[in-house]
Structure 1
Amino acid sequence: MTVPLLEVEDLRLTYRSRGRSLRARPVEVLHEVSLTVAEGETLGLVGESGSGKTTIGRAVLGLARPSAGSITWDGQDITHAGRRERRALARDIQVVFQDPYSSLNPALTIGDTLAEPLTVQGVGAREARRKVGALLDRVGLPADASQRLPREFSGGQRQRVAIARALAPEPRLIVCDEPVSALDLSTQARVLDLFIDIQRRTGVAYLFISHDLAVVRHISHRVAVLHRGEVVETGPAPAVTSAPRHPYTRRLVLASPVADPVEQEKRRAARGRLTVSVETSPTPDSTGATAVQKTDFHRGTR
């Protein structure tokens, strides 16, 4: 069996309580989470706000420290990697954040922003300028964008800049943390298509985090559904998003709005009748979807 590019196994993560009392107990936000991402694959991680999906991304990036479990990168345990190891990993693992404006330095031109990760790797000034031009072209921005500041761009254009910055070191995996949730619907569609096109051209893998099941269905090969810090269902994207087995996943599907008011009322009523349970079934159905935490390496179709 092929070794996955990224493997998270039985991950637990605990935060200290924000209360002032010294007796306040720590809060466990992730409970034995297991998932994998294969080379060139998109795993969609979906769940409501507070489900722990962003915390998983932070743990993969080394921004949150697990209390138990392991994170393996290309066969190497990076669960407790130090600063030097993380700097080396930054070439292979990049991130695109939710807010494209706050993730860009407002005082730097776009050219300087994109050249920064290249110069850190020792790329010369002339070669860096050439690569910046190629990156702008790859994400559909004009060459003169390199001389402009982030405030001169729309939200969708700023997110394209953020994507270009993530692509600069030629990573093998990009953690995408709600990268289109701050954009309007038409811009969302264009940015999602850009992600797909980049993956086809470069073979980069995505851990795509979102609360929107429709977005995850559009871009993902496989989907993992997170509820209260646990993976309750995982499988090929068409199976999980069209014929979900777990009550929580069915609630997510029914939460997506439709244009027909009568149908929308039916969906709202059906969603209200569902009782959410995190009990899982170990037996996958014929579609390949399963409601267990352990996942396989089979890819769905986008």
Structure 2
Amino acid sequence: MTTPLLDVTDLRVAYPGRGLRARPHEVLHGVSLHVREGETLGLVGESGSGKTTIGRAVLGLAKPSGGRVLFQDQDITHVPPKARRSLARDIQVVFQDPYTSLNPSLTIGDILSEPLVVRGASGSDARNRVRELLDHVGLPANASARLPREFSGGQRQRVAIARALAPKPRLIVCDEPVSALDLSTQTRVLDLFIDIQRRTGVSYLFVSHDLSVIRHISHRVTVLYRGDVVETGPADRITSSPEHAYTQALLLAAPVADPVRQRERRSERRRLASLEPSETKAN
């Protein structure tokens, strides 16, 4: 078996408690997962499950209190800031809100070329790469002269994806990247992620609370509940016939057009929510 691109083992993260004598609050209780080359691992769970914290730990934005994070077989759990900056070439991120993650005073061309110039690219090389990136994400070449506020939410997210692709990374952490978009735009952006992966071989650690989004894009799925992994496996199985009651409840949360079925699903979801977290079957 080949070595995973990203290998997270027994990861623990604790945040300081509120108050002078408050004990730290542990939000991850020993999570293990891995992402292979060219693969999308979907992390799904409700708010507070710890899925975003995993992404932040991989990016160095949350300090682990235990466990380890390996990238390309190198331990990056506690790398110093200078080494972390050098990792940015290989590990990038796409955030939830494309507007606040883009500098509103810079043109799209400057936003995309800035990380390239910082890494030593010449002006002409950076401009050529910007044209290439805009083409990759389906934006016209004249977009480089415009400001982020001139674009729709879906277009801004395409710019954010292009910025993440600029240094040709091996892994992109996608933190709820389509949750702020309408349904039709969500589908187009998800299809763009899939197309980019096919063309470049980049891997995704894809964080979402929506099991239908995870089903659309993921090869494998890891389900998180209150800081613990409760189920993991191939996306087709997890999103169609999950074994754990919590995953089944997530699946039932998706609305359906039939009012009778919707009422039945809501009743079943309430029943599943009453089960103990340790129970792996709904019946």
How would you bin the TM-score normalised by the shorter chain?
Answer: over 0.9
Residue 11 of structure 1 corresponds to 11
Residue 300 of structure 1 corresponds to none
**How far has the Cα of 1:108 moved from its partner?**
0.2
**How far has the Cα of 1:280 moved from its partner?**
6.8
**How far has the Cα of 1:17 moved from its partner?**
1.1
Residue 168 of structure 1 corresponds to 166
- Structure 2 gaps, min length 5: none
- The answer to whether structure 1 residue 202 and structure 2 residue 212 are counterparts is no
Q: Report the 3-state secondary structure (helix = DSSP H, G, I; strand = E; otherwise coil) of the residue aligned with 2:239.
A: helix
The answer on whether the counterparts of 1:16 and 1:26 sit within 8 Å (CA) in structure 2 is yes
AA aligned opposite 2:94: V
The answer on whether the counterparts of 2:211 and 2:251 sit within 8 Å (CA) in structure 1 is yes
**Structure 1 stretch 83-92 or stretch 170-179: which is displaced more?**
83-92
Residue 276 of structure 2 corresponds to 277
Q: CA–CA distance in 1 between the matches of 2:275 and 2:116?
A: 47
Q: CA–CA distance in 2 between the matches of 1:259 and 1:102?
A: 34
AA aligned opposite 1:43: L
Q: CA–CA distance in 1 between the matches of 2:60 and 2:276?
A: 31
From 190, 208, 231, the equivalent of 1:192 is: 190
Q: Can you list the C-alpha shifts for 1:281-301, whole angstroms capped at 9, x where unaligned? A: 7xxxxxxxxxxxxxxxxxxxx
- The answer to whether structure 1 residue 48 and structure 2 residue 49 are counterparts is no
Residue 99 of structure 1 corresponds to 97
Residue 233 of structure 2 corresponds to 235
AA aligned opposite 1:42: T
Moved over 4 A (4+): none
Q: Report the 3-state secondary structure (helix = DSSP H, G, I; strand = E; otherwise coil) of the residue aligned with 1:244.
A: coil
**How far has the Cα of 1:120 moved from its partner?**
1.3
**How far has the Cα of 1:276 moved from its partner?**
3.7
Q: CA–CA distance in 1 between the matches of 2:275 and 2:76?
A: 34
AA aligned opposite 2:265: R
The percentage of aligned residue pairs carrying the same residue is: 73
Q: CA–CA distance in 1 between the matches of 2:133 and 2:119?
A: 16
Q: Can you list the C-alpha shifts for 1:60-91, whole angstroms capped at 9, x where unaligned? A: 00001000000000100100011111111100
Residue 150 of structure 1 corresponds to 148
Q: Report the 3-state secondary structure (helix = DSSP H, G, I; strand = E; otherwise coil) of the residue aligned with 1:216.
A: helix
Residue 76 of structure 1 corresponds to 74
Q: Report the 3-state secondary structure (helix = DSSP H, G, I; strand = E; otherwise coil) of the residue aligned with 1:231.
A: strand
Per the alignment, do residues 276 and 108 of structure 1 end up closer, same or farther by CA in structure 2, a change over 3 Å counting? farther
Q: CA–CA distance in 1 between the matches of 2:155 and 2:270?
A: 39
- Structure 1 gaps, min length 5: 282-302
Q: CA–CA distance in 2 between the matches of 1:242 and 1:26?
A: 37
AA aligned opposite 1:227: Y
Per the alignment, do residues 2 and 194 of structure 1 end up closer, same or farther by CA in structure 2, a change over 3 Å counting? same
**How far has the Cα of 1:50 moved from its partner?**
1.1
**How far has the Cα of 1:278 moved from its partner?**
3.2
The answer on whether the counterparts of 1:248 and 1:277 sit within 8 Å (CA) in structure 2 is no
Q: CA–CA distance in 1 between the matches of 2:201 and 2:275?
A: 37
Aligned length in residues: 280
AA aligned opposite 1:278: P
TM-score if structure 2 supplies the norm length?
0.97
